[in-house]
Structure 1
Amino acid sequence: KLDEACVRYGPPDCSLGKQVCSSTSAKTYPSSRTWFNSVTITGLSPASKYCYKIVSTNSTEASFQSPRLPGDKTPFTINAIIDLGVYGEDGFTIEMDKSKRDTIPYIPPSLNHSTIQRLADTINDYEFIIHPGDLAYADNWMLRDHNLLDSKNAFQAILEQFYDQLSPISSRKPYMASPGNHEAACLEVPLITGVCPAGQKNFTDFMTRFGGSMPMTFASTSHDAQAKINANRAKQLANPPFWFSFEYGMAHIVMIDTETDFADAPDEPNGSAHLGAGPFGAPNQQLRFLEADLASVDRTITPWLIVAGHRPWYTAADTPCKPCQAAFEPLLHRYGVDLAVFGHVHNSQRLMPIFNDKLDPAGLNNPTAPMYIIAGGAGNIEGLEKFKGAKPAYVAFAYDDDFSYATITFEDAQHLRVDFVRSSTGEVLDTATLNKRHDGQFVVQH
């Protein structure tokens, strides 16, 4: 625990002439072996390089780029990384037939996680990462025999290992997270999460770790009075790290919670997963937030509207989340969401624009329905999920042979490109460009 959390920072030459300290106390939780601190740096020039150092005995200097202002039309790329777990003896490097799902061939524990390594090798090619759910897979500690005698510490150790492994990326790039089912409790076993010790249930680590770093909804930069009203309403209803939004250059990005806080949410006590979690807001708070936030988006400033969550309702493998579809899909269509990003299914899929189970006849040429992608193949202890049988007509690309992830490039106000990348080689497996005219300031569809 630091007595005071401070950061020194300065220009790229690392002349660290400024210092800022945290205005809040360090946080922890029962069963945690670490403390969490957050420091906010203000007054940075937009889209500029900075060097920084955490003021402690063992930190090193690192660099980052400050965010782009909303409305900046410079092209940029982000990565969608979902269902990413720890590697090594407690992680994805497992022997065949020891996981809950199909696996890729055995990889010696001495080798690096191919997705994390690829993210590190390409660190200058993207500006931030979105990770809507399933980080570390600490709730799978029991899949290792050597963990069975010390389950409480095994759970914490896996979390510590994972975030250490991720630090070459997260120390340099914003890492934007929202919840998935594997953050809920110490065991993903229906109805018995009550045996989990204090601190290892009800998303406690996720809340503590990300609660101080995910943003509240930003004030609207629109000149439209109603947009400002809607944005302020969304800010009041936001509940980071579960549901929130942010603007960056040409994009308005909304992170949602597909686990709790809507009718028949799967992780709530009466939900299909029976993980006994939530709710985390007032009744209908998340959906009221989402509607206010989507209604506030001024397409003359941020033409691209992206929504990211964990469980998909369109997929060629696994069971679609029908309660998620009932809760969220009407709002995504009504306010003209361009791209919806999901995971949960451990493979990669690109889906054609679709609404209410019907393909949009426009395809990728100015559709009114969202384009969907599933980027759940980043790699974890449960392995990859194989496709079985015929795929639905809306599936344009499907890949389950190796770990992979998605890159999203905002080329200009009318063109957005999605690439799926094979983690081990960097090969581009699939590419598609979504064309949208974005000729209206606000979108409301019926």
Structure 2
Amino acid sequence: MRGLQALACFLCLWLPWLQCDEPASTGPEQVHLSYPGDPTSMTVTWTTFGQADSVVVFGPDPGAAFTRSARGQAMKFVDGGKLARTMFVHRVTLSGLLPGQRYAYRCGSPTGWSRAYLFQALLNGSDWSPRFAVFGDMGNVNPQSLPRLQRDTEMGLYDVILHVGDFAYDLHTDNARVGDSFLRKIEPVAALVPYMTCPGNHEQKYNFSNYRARFSMPGGTESLWYSWDVGPAHIISFSTEVYFFLEYGQDLVAEQFRWLVKDLQVANTPERRKERPWIITMGHRPMYCSNNDHDDCTQHESVVRQGLDPHRYGLEDLFYKYGVDLELWAHEHSYERLWPLYNYKVYNGSTKAPYTNPGAPVHVITGSAGCQEQLDPFVPEPREWSAVRIEDYGYTRMQIFNQTHLWLEQVSDDQKGKVVDGIWLIKQRPGAKAWQ
């Protein structure tokens, strides 16, 4: 019998097309953190292939043992592929954390535990300077920027990761095994800092079910859109994909748009905007780009920008009306920074300081973290609204220093971590008042 089991394992390892089922392991894997919106809390998510309890043991670092524990729930997830692979996605929210305190934790159950990890609870209030890594379009194959991102994270350079859509290429591929492999690869990053996401076009299979099942973003919309506060910023994550996969229901476009209007109205009340003057959006497909392809952003009447015909639910006018300061995008496998822009017109603050008190939102496209589709070329001549274009593998760093100053820089992995672009975005008047 043992000989037959060994032969079966050998064949499954070397002949993957046999599509052997995994044993029903209760050992936790694919561990990642997310921020539920409360600085005294942190959510831990992981996967097992057999039923098990959902427990996190944790305690202050350094020196303290795992003196506390928290329990959560496991969701049974059945992938939409032909094998209908089953896994269990566990979610546990830790509460009662001390903002700014480092904690050690491990997750699992008595039938199997993860290794120990460390994280730092986010600080409370708006008077601090959160640091981010920002990128999209990172795959299971050729995730070139991931080792450098891991080193950065282990050095404590980031408080939060923003992954602006497109994971694994694709999460559902090979009956969701590619998604498993990708989440294992990012665990050394995502288990240390909150890994905040938005859906991209590569997540659409089976009505975005792999994306919705695997990530645990705040709010009640299964991670498709949500918002949260961090330091002096209000960050909004939304789905551009509702505009393109209408077979899942055109009502989603209207529902998300109504949610965006309400969220932006609340974020623009005088008290809220005074406390958190920065409003930053993250969505996968950009409104503008100068890449040499036929993506939506190359079209004059971009669907994301103008909405569904006839100009319903367009996002450019909405974001302009409510004074969105910075719009983060991906999808194009390159880096492009635009001048302050609205309706194809540049509104620089001044000739010498275009990003000081600009007259329109700033767009940054950062989709070159690395994937099997390689990099995207640009059209030969940049558009008049395009400030910088870089065709290197890399990612963006962002630090919101205070209520008036925000720093952005682009790191080239091709150039061994060299910072190849950087700007100060300075706004002394918050909101749409700055456009006047």
Fold match by TM threshold 0.5: yes
> How far did 1:155 drift?
4.1
> CA–CA distance in 1 between the matches of 2:235 and 2:379?
32
Q: CA RMSD in A?
A: 2.0
- The alignment partner of 2:197 has SS state of strand
Secondary structure at the counterpart of residue 359 of structure 2:
coil
Equivalent in 52, 67, 77 of residue 17 of structure 1 = 67
User: Quick one: which of 405, 413, 426 aligns to 1:423?
Assistant: 413
Give ranges in structure 1 of 5+ residues lacking alignment: 93-112, 142-153, 186-200, 217-237, 270-276
Residue identity matched to 1:127: D
Report 1:95-244 matches (<5 A).
113-123=143-153, 124-138=156-170, 154-185=174-205, 201-210=206-215, 213-216=216-219, 239-244=221-226
Distance 1:287 1:28 in 2: 29
Alpha-carbon distance, 1:58 to partner: 4.1
Deviation track 1:96-133 (CA, whole Å, cap 9, x = no partner) reads xxxxxxxxxxxxxxxxx431111110111011111121
Q: How far apart are residue 389 of structure 1 and its match?
A: 1.8
1:439–1:162 Cα change, 3 Å: closer
Q: Which structure dedicates a bigger proportion of its chain to strand?
A: 2
Distance between the aligned counterparts of 1:64 and 1:339, measured in 2? Answer: 27
Task: Look up the match of 1:325.
Answer: 305
Structure 1 position 249 matched with structure 2 position 231: yes
Shift in Å at residue 25 of structure 1? 3.6
1:127–1:278 Cα change, 3 Å:
farther
Q: Which residue of 2 aligns with 1:68?
A: 123
CA contact (8 A) 2:74 2:88 kept: no
Task: Check 1:439–1:35 CA distance in 2 against 1; reply closer, same or farther (3 A cut).
Answer: closer
Q: Distance in 1 between matches of 2:418 and 2:53?
A: 45
Q: Distance in 2 between matches of 1:406 and 1:346?
A: 13
Deviates more, 1:337-346 or 1:365-374: 365-374
How far the C-alpha of 1:268 sits from its partner, in A, is 1.8
**1:10–1:16 CA contact under 8 A, matched in 2:** yes
TM-score (norm 1): 0.76
Taking the TM superposition and a 5 Å limit, the aligned residue runs for 1:272-287 are: 277-279=248-250, 281=252, 284-287=254-257
Q: Is 2:5 aligned against 1:5?
A: no
Which residue, out of 286, 293, 300, partners 2:263?
293
Structure 1 residue 323 displacement after superposition: 1.3
75, 79, 97: which one pairs with 2:133?
79
- Is 1:59 paired with 2:29? no
Equivalent in 240, 246, 249 of residue 268 of structure 1: 246
Asked if 1:27 is matched to 2:76, the reply is: yes
Partner in structure 2 of residue 390 of structure 1: 381
Give the direction of change, closer, same or farther, for the CA distance of 1:279–1:15 in structure 2 (3 Å limit). Answer: farther
Q: Does 1:47 align with 2:52?
A: no
- Contact 2:229-2:235 within 8 A present in 1 as well: yes
Deviation at 1:33, TM superposition (A): 4.3
- Structure 1: distance between partners of 2:97 and 2:396: 29
Q: Distance in 2 between matches of 1:377 and 1:178?
A: 16
**Alpha-carbon distance between aligned partners in 1 of 2:175 and 2:359, rounded to the nearest angstrom:** 44
Q: Is contact 1:202–1:278 with CA below 8 Å preserved after alignment?
A: no
- The separation in 2 between residues aligned to 1:410 and 1:378, in whole angstroms, is 22
1:305 aligns with 2:279: yes
Of structures 1 and 2, the one with the larger relative CO (CA 8 A, separation 6+) is: 1
1:335 is matched with which residue: 311, 318, 322?
A: 322
Structure-1 separation of matches of 2:329 and 2:108: 37
CA contact (8 A) 2:226 2:238 kept: yes
Q: Which whole-Å CA distance do the structure 2 matches of 1:70 and 1:346 have between them?
A: 35
Distance in 2 (CA, whole Å) between partners of 1:382 and 1:17 is: 46
Counterpart among 396, 399, 422 of residue 406 in structure 1: 396
Cα pair distance change 1:7/1:417, threshold 3 Å: same
Mean Cα deviation higher: 414-423 or 315-324: 315-324
Secondary structure (helix, strand or coil) at the match of 1:130 reads strand
SS at match of 1:206: helix
Deviation at 1:138, TM superposition (A): 2.0
Q: Deviations over 1:255-311 (max 9, x none)?
A: 011011xxxx11223xxxxxxx44574x61111111111121222211211000000
SS of 2:89's partner is coil
1:77 Cα deviation (Å)? 1.2
| Equivalence for 2:424 | 433
In 1, Cα distance between equivalents of 2:435 and 2:182: 42
Question: 1:155 & 1:375 partners in 2: Cα distance?
Answer: 29
- Identity among equivalent positions (%) equals 29
Give the TM-score, by structure 2 length.
Answer: 0.78
Q: Would the aligned equivalents of 1:85 and 1:136 in 2 still touch at CA under 8 Å?
A: yes
Matched, 1:315 2:289: yes
Write the distance in 2 (CA, Å) between the matches of 1:334 and 1:240. Answer: 27
- Give the secondary-structure state (helix, strand or coil) at the position aligned to 1:40: strand
Q: 2:89 maps to which residue?
A: 36
Code of the aligned partner of 1:45: L
Alignment partner of 1:39: what SS? strand
Looking at structure 1, the residues matched to 389 and 236 of structure 2 have their Cα atoms a distance apart, in angstroms, of 25
**Residues matched between the structures, number:** 356
Give 1:353 deviation, angstroms: 0.8
- Quote how far apart the aligned CAs of 1:29 are: 1.8
**Offset at 1:32?**
3.5
